[in-house]
Structure 1
Amino acid sequence: MHQIPISRRQIYKRYLQAWLKDRGQFSRKKLPRECPNCGFEGVFISVGRPSRWDARCPNCGSRERHRLMQLYMDDAGIDLSDKRILHFGPEKWLMRAMSNNPDYEPADLYAPIAKFRMDITSIDRPDNHFDVIVVHHVLEHIDDDSKAMSELYRVLKPGGLGFLSVPINLSRKDTYENASITEDWERFWHFTGTDHKRFYGRDFSQKLEAVGFEVTPYRRAQSEEIRYGLAQDECIYIVKK
């Protein structure tokens, strides 16, 4: 992967933007964090609505799930630079890191930064095509998430690897869905997002297994959650075919 360099100009720019957006995050003493994605050490900034403090690296822009994915790859010795990758809901951190990989495909149906226009429930690629799939915080937006999971399984090569994450309530056994909830404000209160269709529970692993994936939830110890600026109980799902 292309290493994102430390840029003091970028860091100061993001600190200023963060202060203008949410001054409250600087109202208390902040713990220094470490970013495994770019090597930055220092104070992280807020991101999201509502604002999550200490969640974003001011240098590379990585969020909690990106750092957890990087930690897994570091542990497993995985290098994505020569892999054929499908990245749904592309995120700038990985797009920059993959800038030298011609087989990296950032795809989405609507996102302007996506290079490829693609429907996750009908992926325009042949079977067994990709070495790696990356799908962070996308499936909660999809009407037919089971179809999307099946399509992801179809295009992943045997032996291929996937990184998936969704907003999840680990205290809840079953995914919460309610088709009568259609207003944006209702969806926010029920599903934590104005355009979310569900709030996943612990059965997310079972949903992935139902389409054929082997699934391993991955998280770090609490001390490392603090060290790397991860959300409490932050979890990504490593899937294999």
Structure 2
Amino acid sequence: MLHLINKITPAGLKKRVNVFLHQGDKYFCPFCHYSSKNLAPIGLDIPVNREKQIIGGGRRLGGCYQCGSTDRERLIYAYLKEKLLLFDADKNKSILHIAPEKQLSRVLLNFNFRQYICGDLFTPGYSYPPHVQNMNVLDIPYPDDTFDLVLCNHVLEHVPPDLEAMQELRRVLKKEGQAILQVPISKNTAKTFEDFSISDPQQREIIFGQKDHIRIYGQDYPQRLEQAGFKVARLNLFNEFSRYGINPDEDLFIGTK
């Protein structure tokens, strides 16, 4: 027994303690089935994120103490499972997942859909799971009208020509398909702010809330998607799925052709 205890790292021990201390019945994680009385703090505490009331970003209570899933990850899962009924239908679906979230990707991968493609623009110094391929969202290597479902969450704020990325995502989406296109979005800003002349990572963190962000999306985000050719539905699922620990202010942006 002592031998086993010695193998537990300080981080592992802290996690076990937190899982024990925070168990309860207010929140339920659909990925690991952990029930808790509160959520773990996640995100960056940068002044601009507070000033602009960034939804889907910034420091907040939104993590699962057991598996580490985030509020925005569980929001997407709630839509896919409960609204789109993705896991009740047949598996003959083709899915593209850009910059896949860990827990959501695991569920989709294990369901064995006909085609589940994960892509991310590989960055030196990072390791990627074997099922993720090096892919630029500006040049997706698949034909027009390939995918029934496209997931691209918290990617576009990193891409200078975001309109081109949106158009590329729309190109590979089937005519009857859906694209979930989430970004961190300011609750109190009407117009998206971007400045490509700011290239220093420290300055970007101060101005945009994260070192690799190049814009702060405003409430005009749906219009930007429409400019790329999408029809856009904006949904809020908090009242139905608050127990999943999702952000009450975070809307889903669903794009169709």
Specify the TM-score bucket, using the shorter chain as the normaliser: 0.7 to 0.9
Matches within 5 A, 1:1-241: 16-17=14-15, 32-42=26-36, 43-50=38-45, 52-79=59-86, 81-100=91-110, 101=112, 103-110=115-122, 112-113=127-128, 115-221=132-238, 225=242, 227-241=243-257
Give the distance between the partners of 2:13 and 2:40, measured in 1 at CA.
Answer: 7
Structure 1 residues 176-212: Cα deviation after superposition (integer angstroms, max 9, x where no partner): 1122322212211211111101000011101111122
User: How far off is 1:234 after superposition?
Assistant: 1.4
User: How far off is 1:56 after superposition?
Assistant: 1.5
- From the superposition, tell whether residues 18 and 183 of structure 1 become closer, same or farther in structure 2 (CA, over 3 Å): farther
- From the superposition, tell whether residues 221 and 76 of structure 1 become closer, same or farther in structure 2 (CA, over 3 Å): closer
Please say if residues 78 and 241 of structure 2, whose CA atoms lie closer than 8 Å, have aligned partners that are also in contact.
no
Larger radius of gyration: 2
One-letter amino acid of the structure 2 residue matched with residue 135 of structure 1:
C
SS in 2 for 1:32: strand
User: How far off is 1:221 after superposition?
Assistant: 4.0
Give the distance between the partners of 1:77 and 1:223, measured in 2 at CA.
Answer: 14
Please give the root-mean-square deviation of Cα atoms over the aligned residues, in Å.
2.8
Please say if residues 98 and 104 of structure 1, whose CA atoms lie closer than 8 Å, have aligned partners that are also in contact.
yes
One-letter amino acid of the structure 2 residue matched with residue 65 of structure 1:
R
Name the TM-score, length of structure 1 as normaliser: 0.80
Q: How many residues align?
A: 222
- From the superposition, tell whether residues 176 and 75 of structure 1 become closer, same or farther in structure 2 (CA, over 3 Å): same
| Identical amino acids, percent of aligned pairs | 35
Give the distance between the partners of 2:85 and 2:12, measured in 1 at CA.
Answer: 30
Decide which moves more: 207-216 or 191-200.
207-216
SS in 2 for 1:179: coil
Q: Tell me, which stretches of 5 or more residues in structure 1 are unaligned?
A: 1-12, 21-25
Give the distance between the partners of 1:182 and 1:167, measured in 2 at CA.
Answer: 19
User: How far off is 1:65 after superposition?
Assistant: 1.2
User: How far off is 1:151 after superposition?
Assistant: 0.2
Give the distance between the partners of 2:86 and 2:13, measured in 1 at CA.
Answer: 31
